[in-house]
């Protein structure tokens, strides 16, 4: 927490360097992504009574960072990638709901449940098979006050795991119609007191009941009773080890029975797969003592997830399955250097992510937005923050964060940020840039700057100026902000990939920061969107509309049907699309970060992403959309809806071939700040916490920090922004940051 102003003036800097001035404390937030905007929201709460004056410095014309979106031709929504919120994003939903309430809007009009999830699985003959599932709604809504039904504890996860295992085994029994003749003879462990469960598990083994699906289901329910007791009272030393033998008996029997039943039955094979992986997770939690280890899941951070599952008995076939790849790796771009042959993720974070996703979601597993993320999230936050008095300095690119030289520090004084060097990218005619446009009453971000508000705007537009590009260095001036004169505290909320370029002073002096940027890797991602003349059923997709599907061909392994967005766009009646598809995935990017002196790099990478997308559509889309391909197997390019044409006419420059793809939207996210942060094994310890107080007036925020949930996502960024606000103000309380102290 920051010190009172008088104390800081008397101890922090050399005499005479701080002229007396009144409150408030001035905070410079560098970066307007999820973390930076969250910090601004927390620091300007009415409870602070104006204690902080916040200014957000943002490169380019819009907020959002990796979550930015814009409105292009016909107000079509153009995203940096696929943005779907998870039902366990407690912090993110809580703040968003508060934001909407402050605007007098209902957040439920901006989000809706998306329960259909799919995974594609490659068959031995080289074809593909789809596996779709409807995740049932769970009680409550994300952001509601937590209850006993949402325990963020390891033992709580074990209880839920046993319930799920019992359900899966029962479903296998019903599918086979087996076990009814022995059901009445199986002891009911679920009716016993916790201290009697282990003895009676031994009876199930002794009398051969574990050789039946009925006995197995009852055994898992009994273990759930035992783990439930651990949720209330932590196990005594040695109690965890005592469970291993009966758990091993359950595992052996379950896998033997289910693997036999699964032969020739695709549905039971999938049940066997989930049971195998879930039992390996449970066994690993027990074997590694994660219930009582104060490090929680971080105790296994050095292991790669699949290696850890193998250590705990998971089948080799299931470790290589599309299911595990889709739900654990594809969903978080977890491929080192974007290489499909190198899926890598920390076992601790993969376990935390998987269990939280499965067992703590509320309402729905996935929630989709009814417009772009810029429209639904960042425009409302911008409006609220403006009302609260936050200043936004758009077109301000951070060039360097300067530390005070060592000879300026008083004895015992911590290092501090002395200056911020910014490149001013454009001059706003009125002095204040107004970034939002109105789309049918909804404030939105445009896909391009409003050049009319800028001095020399026509020239910049003609030159195809891109103020968001790391390589476009055009600027009208430089600005240096100095401590005392211009700011008191700094929140560094740029993407992790940008830190080597803007924080050289810190990297030169601080080995911990060097270790973070060297070991916590990032990866480039790609995405494209297609507006199509046919709906998904007419394209031949046999499943549910609104599906989100993963595990498909690399690099664009994830597809989401986003057709619900079309009514929010403004297409002419005679060329209104019938469906909208988003694809995304990790791009091969190599181990080296891009260099600033290579302006051809983004052009080459964008072209490579386009070629990959065209190849994907020509060679692979036929599996998802059989009616979207020609008899020779190639994609029917005439299905694409083209913007910008006169009614009833097609633009002449787009013949009916792959060239039509250029009229769609695609992106290669290659800017250092846009690269996705990976959760590689052994790197959680290398992340810097927003609570770190090494620097007197600096905190760091973003999904690359040590925030309690070290995976690149909205929730992690929001948690980090809340922690940064706590570091400056003591608010929010740490116990109110849901999951920060998660095991």
Residues of the chain with pLDDT > 70: what percent?
A: 93
Q: Global pTM?
A: 0.94
Domain boundaries, the chain: 5-14+21-83+372-521+679-736, 151-359, 525-669
Tell me whether strands 489-492 and 25-30 are parallel, antiparallel or unpaired.
parallel
**Tens of pLDDT, residues 517-550:** 999 999 999 999 999 999 999 999 998 899 999 9
pLDDT for residue 176: 73
**Tens of pLDDT, residues 276-302:** 999 999 999 999 999 988 899 999 999
Q: Reply yes or no on whether the pLDDT at 652 is more than 70.
A: no
CB of 44 within 8 A of CB of 730?
no
Q: What is the mean pLDDT of residues 225-243?
A: 81
Distance, CA of 355 to CA of 352 (rounded, Å): 6
**Tens of pLDDT, residues 154-192:** 888 999 999 999 899 888 888 777 544 455 566 676 666
pLDDT for residue 194: 72
Distance, CA of 533 to CA of 641 (rounded, Å): 6
Centre a 10 Å sphere on the Cβ of residue 338 and count the other Cβ atoms it contains.
22
Please state which of the ranges 244-248, 368-372, 559-563 shows the lowest mean pLDDT: 244-248
pLDDT for residue 450: 98
Tell me whether strands 579-586 and 525-532 are parallel, antiparallel or unpaired.
antiparallel
pLDDT for residue 648: 53
pLDDT for residue 17: 47
Distance, CA of 338 to CA of 527 (rounded, Å): 14
pLDDT for residue 182: 52
Q: What is the mean pLDDT of residues 41-68?
A: 97
Q: Reply yes or no on whether the pLDDT at 12 is more than 60.
A: no
Distance, CA of 363 to CA of 93 (rounded, Å): 12
Q: Reply yes or no on whether the pLDDT at 9 is more than 60.
A: no
**Tens of pLDDT, residues 376-412:** 999 999 999 999 999 999 999 999 999 999 988 988 8
Distance, CA of 454 to CA of 467 (rounded, Å): 12
Distance, CA of 57 to CA of 114 (rounded, Å): 35
Confidence of residue 7 (pLDDT cuts 50, 70, 90): very low
Of the two residues 680 and 264, the one the predictor is more confident about is 680
Q: Reply yes or no on whether the pLDDT at 230 is more than 80.
A: yes
In degrees and rounded to multiples of 5, residue 428 shows phi and psi of: -85, 130
Residue whose tokens read 């930015």: 68
pLDDT for residue 738: 93
> ∠ at Cα 373 (372, 376), nearest 5°?
85
Query: Could you please report the per-residue DSSP string of 368-385?
Result: EESS-HIIIIIHHHHHHH
Q: Reply yes or no on whether the pLDDT at 24 is more than 60.
A: yes
Confidence of residue 267 (pLDDT cuts 50, 70, 90): confident
Which residues make Cβ contacts (< 8 Å) with residue 492, sequence separation at least 6?
30, 31, 401, 499, 502, 503, 698, 699, 700, 701
Distance, CA of 414 to CA of 638 (rounded, Å): 64
Q: What is the CA radius of gyration of the chain?
A: 27
> Helices 714-729 & 34-43, crossing angle to 10 degrees?
40
pLDDT for residue 3: 53
Nearest to 494 by CA among 669, 674, 332, 337: 674
pLDDT for residue 191: 64
pLDDT for residue 11: 37
Distance, CA of 23 to CA of 16 (rounded, Å): 18
Specify burial of residue 122 (Cβ count, 10 A radius: 0-12, 13-18, 19+): middle
CB of 640 within 8 A of CB of 664?
yes
DSSP E strands, 85-146: 85-86, 111-113, 116-122, 128-134
CATH annotation of 5-14+21-83+372-521+679-736: 3.50.50.60
Distance, CA of 100 to CA of 104 (rounded, Å): 6
Q: Reply yes or no on whether the pLDDT at 645 is more than 90.
A: no
pLDDT for residue 497: 94
Q: Reply yes or no on whether the pLDDT at 303 is more than 90.
A: yes
**Tens of pLDDT, residues 316-357:** 989 988 889 998 999 999 999 999 999 999 999 999 999 999
Q: What is the mean pLDDT of the chain?
A: 90
């Amino acid at each position: 927490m920051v010190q009172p102003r008088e104390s800081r003036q008397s101890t922090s800097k050399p005499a005479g360097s701080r002229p007396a001035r009144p409150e408030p404390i001035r905070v410079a937030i560098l970066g307007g992504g999820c973390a930076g905007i969250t910090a601004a929201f927390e620091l300007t709460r009415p409870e602070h009574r104006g204690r902080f004056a916040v200014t957000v410095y943002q490169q380019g014309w819009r907020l959002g960072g990796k979550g930015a979106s814009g409105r292009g031709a016909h107000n079509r929504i153009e995203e940096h990638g696929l943005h779907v919120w998870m039902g366990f994003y407690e912090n993110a939903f809580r703040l968003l709901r508060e934001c909407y309430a402050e605007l007098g809007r209902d957040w439920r009009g901006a989000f809706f449940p998306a329960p259909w999830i799919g995974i594609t699985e490659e068959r031995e003959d080289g074809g593909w098979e789809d596996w779709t599932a409807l995740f049932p709604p769970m009680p409550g809504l994300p952001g509601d006050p937590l209850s006993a039904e949402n325990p963020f504890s390891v033992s709580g996860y074990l209880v839920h795991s046993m319930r799920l295992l019992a359900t899966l085994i029962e479903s296998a029994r019903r599918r086979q119609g087996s076990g009814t003749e022995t059901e009445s003879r199986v002891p009911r462990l679920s009716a016993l007191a916790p201290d009697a469960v282990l003895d009676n598990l031994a009876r199930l083994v002794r009398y051969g009941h574990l050789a039946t699906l009925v006995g197995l289901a009852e055994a898992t329910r009994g273990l759930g009773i035992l783990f439930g007791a651990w949720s209330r009272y932590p196990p005594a030393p040695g109690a965890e080890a005592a469970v291993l033998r009966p758990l091993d008996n359950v595992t052996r029997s379950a896998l033997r029975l289910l693997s036999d039943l699964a032969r020739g039955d695709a549905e039971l094979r999938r049940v066997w797969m989930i049971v195998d992986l879930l039992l390996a997770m449970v066994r690993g939690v027990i074997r590694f003592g994660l219930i009582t280890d104060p490090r929680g899941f971080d105790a296994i951070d050095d292991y790669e997830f699949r290696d850890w599952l193998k250590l705990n008995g998971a089948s080799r076939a299931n470790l290589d399955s599309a299911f595990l790849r889709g739900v654990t790796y594809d969903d978080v771009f977890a491929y080192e250097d974007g290489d499909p042959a190198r899926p890598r993720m920390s076992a601790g974070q993969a376990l935390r992510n998987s269990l939280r996703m499965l067992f703590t979601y509320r309402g729905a597993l996935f929630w989709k937005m009814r417009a772009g993320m810029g429209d639904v999230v960042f425009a409302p936050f911008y409006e609220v923050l403006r009302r609260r008095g936050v200043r936004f300095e758009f077109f301000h690119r951070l060039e360097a964060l300067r530390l005070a030289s060592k000879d300026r520090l008083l004895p015992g004084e911590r290092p501090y940020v002395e200056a911020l060097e910014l490149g001013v990218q454009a001059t706003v005619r009125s002095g204040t840039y107004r970034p939002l446009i109105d789309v049918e009453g909804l404030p939105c971000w445009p896909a391009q700057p409003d050049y009319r508000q800028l001095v020399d705007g026509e020239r910049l537009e003609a030159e195809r100026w891109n103020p968001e590009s790391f390589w476009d260095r055009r600027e009208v001036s430089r600005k240096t902000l100095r401590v005392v004169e211009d700011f008191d505290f700094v929140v560094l909320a740029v993407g992790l990939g940008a830190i080597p370029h803007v924080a050289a002073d810190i990297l030169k002096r601080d080995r911990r920061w060097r270790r973070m940027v060297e070991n916590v890797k990032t990866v480039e991602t790609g995405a494209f969107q297609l507006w199509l003349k046919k709906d998904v059923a007419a394209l031949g997709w046999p499943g549910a509309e609104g599906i989100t599907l993963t595990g498909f061909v690399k690099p664009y392994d994830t597809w989401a049907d986003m057709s619900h967005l079309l009514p929010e766009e403004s297409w002419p009646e005679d060329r209104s699309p019938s469906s909208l598809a988003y694809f995304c995935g990790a791009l091969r990017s190599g181990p080296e970060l891009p260099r600033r002196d290579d302006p051809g790099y983004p052009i080459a990478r964008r072209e490579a992403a386009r070629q990959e997308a065209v190849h994907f559509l020509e060679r692979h889309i036929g599996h998802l959309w059989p009616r979207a391909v020609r008899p020779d197997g190639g994609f029917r390019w005439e299905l694409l809806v083209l913007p910008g044409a006169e009614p009833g006419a097609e633009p002449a420059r787009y013949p009916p071939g792959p060239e039509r793809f250029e009229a769609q939207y695609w992106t290669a996210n290659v800017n250092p700040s846009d690269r996705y942060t990976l959760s590689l094994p052994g790197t959680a310890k290398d992340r810097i916490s927003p609570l770190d107080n090494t620097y007197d007036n600096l905190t760091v925020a973003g999904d690359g920090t040590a925030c309690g949930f070290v995976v690149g996502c909205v929730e992690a960024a929001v948690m980090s922004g809340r922690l940064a606000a706590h570091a400056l103000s003591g608010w929010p309380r740490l116990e109110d940051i849901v999951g920060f102290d998660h095991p």
